[in-house]
Structure 1
């Protein structure tokens, strides 16, 4: 096992995710109308009240909840908790009217500004990067079927040990993270390594919830992508590998049938390859 595998912790990962969220995601939230805040806050609280009354929650259970909520904040795991157990419903609502490609959750490990690469690209990786080589290729079109030239394809994923650069120690900063600019016909060919299934961090507060509830912590192997172009809607998605035992019980509830890849032996004889096309909706 790598040094990253041995030393990565929920606290360190949570702290990185929290700082990244504060940097990248808190733009414009202060402009949310008071009426909207009032509506949503009251309905969430009403749902909590209904659960307490329905199940006759005791003071011991209430205090256990308070202690756990405090520890989630101390561990910096609110981004992990919300992205794993809540984001999939927000994504479902936000993308309900899309005609093009299916989206799914972003998750807590996106980092903007990955190195820009050409349409024929090899992802940044260590010289001895472990895993099965994967050629990921496809084309970006619009809902009318026309190519989208120079579309931006942001790709990031875990390594063979299940860890992400910038969220686990001992991994180069931009390892397995890249921004690919498609060609004039919207096509791209990306050489990378197949990621592994992994467990979300379990040594912190989210792990305590998983243990107490008797759940598992596994996410199936997946590629993360953001695909965008001027005058088109950004699509954020993940793509999954057929046969993974956790495609059907992903802890993040993010797998959709349309997001399963067709994996074939590589024509080069080295590893595997897959083709996946993206269809962008108009802005």
Structure 2
């Protein structure tokens, strides 16, 4: 995996994810009616109470949980914990009405306003960035097949060490992050590198949970995208590669068959084709 001097700490990554969430997304919770808060809080607590009764949870286990929850908060790992183990169900419920492309979780490492590379360009990366060159061509359309000129495709991905720019030290701000704007026919071409599988941070409390439960921490290789166009619902997805050993046991439970790419060898790299159909808003 990563050389030790480049490894970010879970606390550092968690703090970055927490601050990003506070900046971009935390302002909407106050609009939830009290009746809805009461219903959700009661059902969550009832599920916890039922588990305690069914499993005869001891005080030692309860205190271990309390200590762990405190540590998750102090380490800033709530975004990591929720995005890895909870978000996939929220996404499933929130998008079950859609007729267009399937989506999946956003995860904790999105950053808005990545540089726009037009409809055809290269994702910003360091000189000699490790990875197999990958060219992705695609088209953005409405569910009725109408091309969506000017649609945006935001892409972000981890580097070969599994690290994301803006969430790990020593990486240029927009490394492996870009926005592409579809042409008059809704087409785009993205040149990047094939991502690598990686482990989520394991030196913090989420890592302690993984070790205590005997789980693994691996995510399969994936490209993150957000696709949007006026008058249409934004699609958030991750695109995966066949043959990855963790496609079937992703720690984040985010892989779907509809999100699998079909890479073809081409020269010294690979090519893929993948289109998007967006639902009308």
Specify the alignment match of 2:75 in structure 1: 75
**1:7 Cα deviation (Å)?**
3.1
Where in structure 1 are there 5+ consecutive unaligned residues? none
In structure 2, C-alpha distance between the alignment counterparts of 1:5 and 1:136, rounded to whole Å: 33
**1:29 Cα deviation (Å)?**
1.5
Specify the alignment match of 2:275 in structure 1: 277
Q: Verify: 1:190 aligned to 2:190, yes or no.
A: yes
Where in structure 2 are there 5+ consecutive unaligned residues? none
Q: Deviations over 1:94-147 (max 9, x none)?
A: 000000000100000000010111111100000121110000110001110111
In structure 1, C-alpha distance between the alignment counterparts of 2:274 and 2:65, rounded to whole Å: 43
The answer to whether the 8 A contact 1:10-1:204 is kept is yes
1:40-79 equivalences under 5 Å are 40-79=40-79
Q: Verify: 1:121 aligned to 2:121, yes or no.
A: yes
Specify the alignment match of 2:93 in structure 1: 93
The answer to whether the 8 A contact 1:227-1:234 is kept is yes
In structure 2, C-alpha distance between the alignment counterparts of 1:85 and 1:214, rounded to whole Å: 15
Runs of 4+ residues deviating >2 angstroms: 1-7
Query: 1:116 is paired with a residue of what secondary structure?
Result: coil
Paired residues in the alignment total: 281
1:1-283 equivalences under 5 Å are 6-266=6-266, 269-283=267-281
Q: Deviations over 1:161-195 (max 9, x none)?
A: 11110111111000000010010111000000111
The answer to whether the 8 A contact 2:6-2:169 is kept is no
The answer to whether the 8 A contact 1:116-1:179 is kept is yes
The answer to whether the 8 A contact 1:4-1:170 is kept is no
Distance of aligned partners of 1:120 and 1:17 in 2 relative to their CA distance in 1, 3 Å threshold:
same
Distance of aligned partners of 1:2 and 1:128 in 2 relative to their CA distance in 1, 3 Å threshold:
farther
Aligned Cα RMSD in Å? 1.1
In structure 2, C-alpha distance between the alignment counterparts of 1:188 and 1:14, rounded to whole Å: 33
